[in-house]
Structure 1
Amino acid sequence: MIRWRKGEVVRIRREWPGAVELDVTVPEGECRALAYPPLVGRPEPGDEVLLNTTALAMGLGTGGYAMVVAVPNRLPEDPQGPGHLVKARYTPLQATVLGADEQGSPHHDVLREADSIGGMPVVVADLHSALPPILCGLYESRPGVRVAYVMQDGGALPAWFSMAAARLREIGWLAGVVTVGQAFGGDVEAVTVHTGLLAARHVLQADVAVVAQGPGNLGTGTRWGFSGVSAGEAVNAAAVLLGRPVAALRVSEGDRRERHYGLSHHSLTAYGRVALSPADVPVPELPGEFGERVRRQAEPLAERHRLVSVPLDGLHEALRASPVRLSTMGRGLEEDLAYFLTSAAAGRLAASLTS
């Protein structure tokens, strides 16, 4: 289940808020490793580190790092301050955080009685890679909009793993990150998607929320065995809190797997079967035969949802100007343009729903 190694830090490659990328020597040679200083302290060259090398050995794309579990000769100080929510529960790296919705939080009184997000548009997406293009579409139409990212726990659990979220937060494209479920490390912690959305609205004062899992996702090639099923549940959460759910479609022209080519079966299952509340579904006006394929594939969703045709003029240019690198499943903007345009179309539609 876990491949363990001891190693020695050779050098620090780069770092961003909450994470440090390292080169580490192990018995097999040199490898790339990732440490989260808030959990294990900040490793320095020459430090001995204890590593979990499972993802590295499996050759995972998104999570292909050896993970630093501990710096045994230089452990961090005990944490100070309030916080009683335990996330990554009952694992060796369970962490205690201060939840916005727990007693003792300065936001507890606000969230205790909160029951509505007041019509706030909530863009729901299957993959983390949709976050930047959704924001490109939003800001192309509404430059001053205030956006919160609600990160589910279907992919990475630490929000610190996402370089894109850190950069988007730095430049002000995100008012904050809310980590929900077992995910942690956001600007705001919450127990559920429901309290995460309430925190986005009432704590971060967001005009729009984007809900998606963290980097990485789990799929088995079966109808129900994929972590993006939670996208349908997020639509329900947004609706029950009197928000305006916008169901972003997962569309690809670069993925040659039949189940993901055109409109992914993930979208059809999550929105067509799991989402019981109506949502606005932005259908991009993609050109040619491929665009017709996507529109035909989306038609069954009209039984429950409102299909909204979204023009794409200007969105390619907005995507080219993205402040972070655009990538999905290893494909960049021009390698899978339809994916990024479809996500940007969701942002454009959400912008039209803001007051």
Structure 2
Amino acid sequence: MIRWRRGEVARIRREWSGAMEIEVSTEEGLVRALAYPALVGRPEPGDTVLLNTTALAMGLGTGGYAMVVALPNRLPKDPQGPGHLVKARYTPLQATVLGADEQDSPFHEALREADSLDGMPVVVADLHSALPAILCGLYGSRPAGHEEVRVAYVMLDGGALPAWFSMSCARLRETGWLDGVVTVGQAFGGDVEAVTLHTGLLAARHVMDADVAIVTQGPGNLGTGTRWGFSGVSAGEAVNAASVLGGRPVAALRVSEGDLRKRHIGVSHHSLTAYGRVALAPAQVVVPELPGDFGSRVAEQCAPLAVRHELVGVPVEGLYEDLADCPVRLSTMGRGLDEDLAYFLASAAAGRHAASLLS
């Protein structure tokens, strides 16, 4: 279940908002480790650390790190302040946070009877890597009079639980491309915490005053190669939540020309299942107008979704330039912009369509 190791901090490699990458000396040699200071305290060179090396040993895609579980010789001080929501519940690192929707929150009254997103566009995608690409399309296609668009990222708990894990989120916040992060369900570490996706979306609208919300899971998609065993089914559930709250759900397709797995070539079965089977409410499904036979294949694969959803063709001209100017590195499953251009164009096209809904 858990592979435990003890080590000594050799050096601090780098830091970003909420996280530290360190190098730890263990009996098996040097390893890269990740620490969340809000949970375990701030490790310094010479500190003894307890590590969870399970994902590192398994070679998981997002498991290139050992995780710091504790600094046993220098425990952090007890937390101060309000907060009664427990996240990562009943695990050894369960943590209390102040939820926007709980009674002690200054936003409780605003959310107590909140029931509508007031038509706010909600862009839904499968993978966390779609987030910056959607923003590229959104900001590159803003209509006149909407130069100052407020965007909230609502992070689901299907992947990483701590929002701090995402270097992209930290950088997008620094550049002003994101006005805030809302962590929902068991996810935590956002600018705003919420119990459910529904209150998370309402918090994006009524607490952050967002014009657009983007919903994806955190980094670390889980898939098993089965029809239903993948964490991206939550994309369909997000469409339902956005719809029931009076938002305008926009479905971004997971499209790939570079994935070696047959089930993800063209339109991924993740999108076809999430939007075709899980999403019971209608959405605007953005179909990127990609060139050539591959574009025709994508359009053909999407056709069955028209039974429930509105298929919206979106041109991709000019989106490459928008993507090339992204303030964070674009990468999905280890592939960059030019290695899987179709993936990023499809995500950016969803952002472009969301921008058109602001006019």
TM-score, structure 2 as length reference: 0.98
1:275 aligns with 2:254: no
- Secondary structure of the residue that 2:177 maps to in structure 1? coil
**Aligned ranges for residues 298-337 of structure 1 at < 5 Å?**
298-337=302-341
In the alignment, structure 1 segments of 5+ residues that lack a partner are none
Deviation at 1:117, TM superposition (A): 0.4
Letter in 1 for 2:105: S
Kindly provide the amino acid, as one letter, of the partner of residue 151 in structure 1. Answer: M
Letter of the structure 2 residue corresponding to residue 117 of structure 1: L
Deviation at 1:85, TM superposition (A): 0.1
Aligned counterpart for 1:259 among listed residues 256, 263, 266: 263
Q: 1:63 offset after TM fit, Å?
A: 2.7
Distance in 1 (alpha carbons) for counterparts of 2:271 and 2:171: 28
- In structure 2, what is the Cα distance between the partners aligned to 1:144 and 1:172? 10
AA at the equivalent of 2:184: V
Distance 2:292 2:110 in 1: 50
Equivalent residue number for residue 135 of structure 1: 135
Cα distance in 2 between the residues matched to 1:323 and 1:43: 29
Aligned twin of 1:106: 106
In structure 1, give the amino acid aligned to 2:160: A
Within 2, Cα distance between the matches of 1:79 and 1:354?
A: 41
Amino acid at match of 1:217: N
C-alpha separation between the residues in 1 aligned to 2:181 and 2:271?
Answer: 24
1:118 aligns with 2:118: yes
* Number of residues of Structure 1 aligned to a counterpart in Structure 2: 355
How far did residue 302 of structure 1 move? 0.4
Computed over aligned residues only, the root mean square deviation of the Cα atoms, in angstroms, reads 0.6
Does residue 182 in structure 1 map to residue 186 in structure 2? yes
Deviations 1:289-343 (A, max 9, x none): 1111100000000000000000011100000000000000000000000000000
Aligned to 1:13: 13
Partners of 1:27 and 1:294 lie apart in 2 by 50
Query: C-alpha distance in 1, partners of 2:330/2:309?
Result: 29
Q: Which runs of 5+ in 2 are unaligned?
A: none
Tell me which amino acid in the other structure corresponds to 2:52. Answer: N
What's the CA shift for 1:354?
1.5
Q: Look up the equivalent residue of 1:16 and give its one-letter code.
A: W
Letter in 2 for 1:8: E
**Corresponding residue of 1:55:** 55
Q: Structure 2 matches for 1:1-355, cutoff 5 A?
A: 1-142=1-142, 143-355=147-359
Offset from partner CA, 1:198-229 (integer Å, 9 cap, x none): 00000000000000000011100011000000
Distance across 1 between alignment mates of 2:128 and 2:269: 17
Distance 2:257 2:88 in 1: 36
Structure 1-normalised TM-score?
Answer: 0.99
In structure 2, what is the Cα distance between the partners aligned to 1:346 and 1:268?
Answer: 16
**SS of match in other structure, 2:129:** helix
Q: Deviations over 1:49-92 (max 9, x none)?
A: 00000010001122321000001111110000000000000000
- Partner Cα distance (2:249, 2:33) in 1: 38
Equivalents in 2 of 1:61, 1:273: separation in Å?
Answer: 27
Deviation at 1:145, TM superposition (A): 1.2
Q: Share of identical aligned residues, percent?
A: 82
The one-letter amino acid of 1:78's match is: D
SS in 2 for 1:128: coil
Q: How many angstroms apart in 2 are the aligned matches of 1:256 and 1:3?
A: 31
- 1:50 aligned counterpart, secondary structure: strand
CA distance in 2, matches of 1:313, 1:191: 40
Name the amino acid aligned to 2:118.
G
Amino acid at match of 1:208: V
Alignment partners' CA distance in 2, 1:324 and 1:221 = 30
Provide the rounded CA distance (Å) in 2 between the counterparts of 1:230 and 1:252: 20
Find the aligned partners of 2:243 and 2:250 in 1 and give their Cα distance: 10
